[in-house]
Structure 1
Amino acid sequence: MAIIGECFCGQVQYRIDGTLRDARSCHCSRCRKAFSSQASAYALVDPADFSWLSGEELLTSYASEQGFGLQFCKLCGSTLCGIYNDEVHGVTLGCLNGDPDVELGRHIYVGSKASWEVIATGVPQYIEDAE
């Protein structure tokens, strides 16, 4: 079954014809800023399984010198996916519709989490990344 995602205004939509993997929540200061939240909620996807359904022309990108970055809707600002060398490699879980049949498997960079955040127990936590 396909997984569908969209931005807040609904103008940008995508489809994943495959499964999500390695779902994680990152608590580093960069993810907090990029996602305007206490952490990111993100899962990897096979680029061959990912396709834009509508609004691709409304995307804007930010990428680091190393090639890692994010794509956003120009209209509403939703962070939709992560890119590496201009290719989608993961999606933000908050923009998915329905049940994507994935659970967060780890919390990473909890050593730099916001002082006001309390992370629920039950999922492994790593001071940095587990990889």
Structure 2
Amino acid sequence: MNLSGECFCGEIKYEINGKLLDARSCHCSRCRKAFSSQASAYALVDPSEFQWVSGAEFLTSYVGEHGFGLQFCKKCGSTLCGVYQDEVHGVTLGCLNEDPEIEIGRHIFVGSKASWEVIPEGVPQYEEHPPENA
């Protein structure tokens, strides 16, 4: 499967030559701030199947003390991907141009979700991290 994505202003573009995995929505307070939304919509990607096509010079990063972080467009502020130890770990589903043929499979950190959010029924929910085998 070939997928493409881009930021809001279109300066940064990427391609994925493969499938996305483990789509999830995180409802923790940090994700709400990072994504300026009630939750994140994120899926994992094999780093070897991801490549920047154009605009990489417009990327800026925030990386926390444990090596996890996010990359953004310097011009428009779009959150494009997550990184771990300097490699792309996953992508934000909202920046994809095509149907990724994946659905949110779980909601995590619902124990700290915003009081005004209503999570739809029918998808597994976890108060914090899901169990290892989930």
TM exceeds 0.5?
yes
Please state how far the C-alpha of 1:122 moved relative to its aligned partner.
1.3
% identical aligned pairs: 76
CA RMSD of aligned residues (A): 0.6
Match for residue 109 of structure 1? 109
SS in 2 for 1:53: strand
- The answer to whether the aligner puts 1:37 opposite 2:23 as a matched pair is no
- Matched letter for residue 99 of structure 1: D
Could you tell me which amino acid in structure 2 is paired with residue 34 of structure 1?
A: A
Q: Could you list the per-position Cα deviations for residues 44-102 of structure 1 after superposition, in whole angstroms to 9, with x for gaps in the alignment?
A: 00000000011000000000011100000000000000000111010000000121111
Any unmatched runs of 5+ in structure 1?
A: none
| Partner secondary structure for residue 43 of structure 2 | strand
Please give the secondary structure, in 2, of the residue aligned with 1:94: helix
Q: Is residue 2:32 matched to residue 1:28? A: no
Equivalent-residue separation in structure 2 for 1:96 and 1:60 (angstroms): 19
What does residue 68 of structure 1 align with?
A: 68
> What TM-score comes out, normalization by structure 1 length?
0.98
Gaps of 5+ in 2: none
Task: Tell me the TM-score normalized by structure 2.
Answer: 0.96
Distance 1:26 1:51 in 2: 25
1:71-110 to 2 correspondences below 5 Å: 71-110=71-110
* Residue equivalent to 2:46: 46
| Aligned counterparts of 1:126 and 1:36: Cα–Cα separation in 2 | 21
Once the two structures are superposed, what CA deviation does each residue of 1:17-40 show, in whole Å capped at 9, x if it has no partner? 000000000000000000000000
Report what 2:17 is aligned to: 17
**In the aligned structure 2, how far is the partner of 1:25 from the partner of 1:56?**
26
- Work out the CA distance in 2 between the residues paired with 1:25 and 1:57: 29
Size of the aligned set, in residue pairs, is 131
Mapped pair 1:128 → 2:128: yes
